[in-house]
Amino acid sequence: MDRLAVCRVLRQPYFRDRGGRAGRLSTAPPGCVRKSAALTEDSFSRLGCADAAIASYRIFARLNESGDLPSRVRFQVSLPTPLAPVSFFVALTDRAVVETVYESVMISELTEIIEAIPRNELTIQWDVAVEFSILEGIMTSHLEDAEAGVVEKLLWLGDHVPEDVSLGYRLSYGDAGHQCAQILRCAQYDIVLMLKNASRGRTYTSTNGL
């Protein structure tokens, strides 16, 4: 999760501190939107995802050119879903507003990454972790229908990765203090995503972290 990027964002004048400290699965994180604020993409600092990915790719390219890497290896950029930091760091009442703008900023940085790195060398992986806390009811969500909302958001993110760039999802399912009813949910949503992507003519790879 891009914790540092979120912390930079929350220091913007558009946000105020609720006080207190957010716990690992807190439903009342400290960041709240000021009621008078009209959020736009300009309200956010750079998330830093594109800068870090492009700088890292330069190292990858040098290693590739020197023959230190197998030719089949791709450069993978793992990105947090916008829902994750917003759910973790923004107050429930403000999440829908912040998430919409945060999504735009993330997609802008994704576009920068895709434009800067050769597509035949690139893999984009969306890291899916907080979503399972939402699906299990451990974390309160602003989504009206958590299950449908989570899946549609993941598909929407996948749609922003061009066909000639390798797409992946990492479904990271944790036990969260033995609060989870069943661990098969990870495989369940892997299948759901696979089928829905296939219906759109898109394939993807998955890594399941249990």
Q: What does the domain layout of the chain look like in residue ranges?
A: 3-16+46-209
3-state secondary structure of 77: strand
Burial classification of residue 1, based on how many CB atoms lie within 10 Å of its CB (0-12 exposed, 13-18 middle, 19 or more buried) = middle
Mean pLDDT computed over 1-19 = 50
Better-scored residue on pLDDT, 49 or 15: 49
Q: How far apart are CA 136 and CA 121, in angstroms?
A: 36
54-68 residue pLDDT tens = 999 999 999 999 999
Q: In this structure, are residues 155 and 200 in contact, taking their beta carbons and an 8 Å threshold?
A: yes
- List of residues 6+ apart from 187 with CB closer than 8 A: 208
**Cα R_g (the chain), whole angstroms:** 18
In 3D space, the residue among 191, 173, 170, 193 whose CA is nearest the CA of residue 183 turns out to be 173
Q: How far apart are CA 84 and CA 198, in angstroms?
A: 25
Residue 209 confidence (pLDDT)? 46
Residue 165 confidence (pLDDT)? 93
Q: Which of 88-102, 153-167, 170-184 has the highest mean pLDDT?
A: 153-167
Phi, psi of 70 (to 5 degrees): -60, 145
Residue 186 confidence (pLDDT)? 58
Q: How far apart are CA 103 and CA 82, in angstroms?
A: 6
Mean pLDDT computed over 177-201 = 59
- List of residues 6+ apart from 28 with CB closer than 8 A: 18, 20, 22, 91, 92
Q: In this structure, are residues 128 and 170 in contact, taking their beta carbons and an 8 Å threshold?
A: yes
What's the DSSP call for residue 45? P
Mean pLDDT computed over 164-174 = 83
Supply the pTM of this predicted model. 0.76
Burial classification of residue 124, based on how many CB atoms lie within 10 Å of its CB (0-12 exposed, 13-18 middle, 19 or more buried) = buried
Angle among Cα 129, 132, 135 to the nearest 5 degrees reads 155
Q: How far apart are CA 75 and CA 202, in angstroms?
A: 20
Q: Which of 6-10, 61-65, 98-102 has the lowest mean pLDDT?
A: 6-10
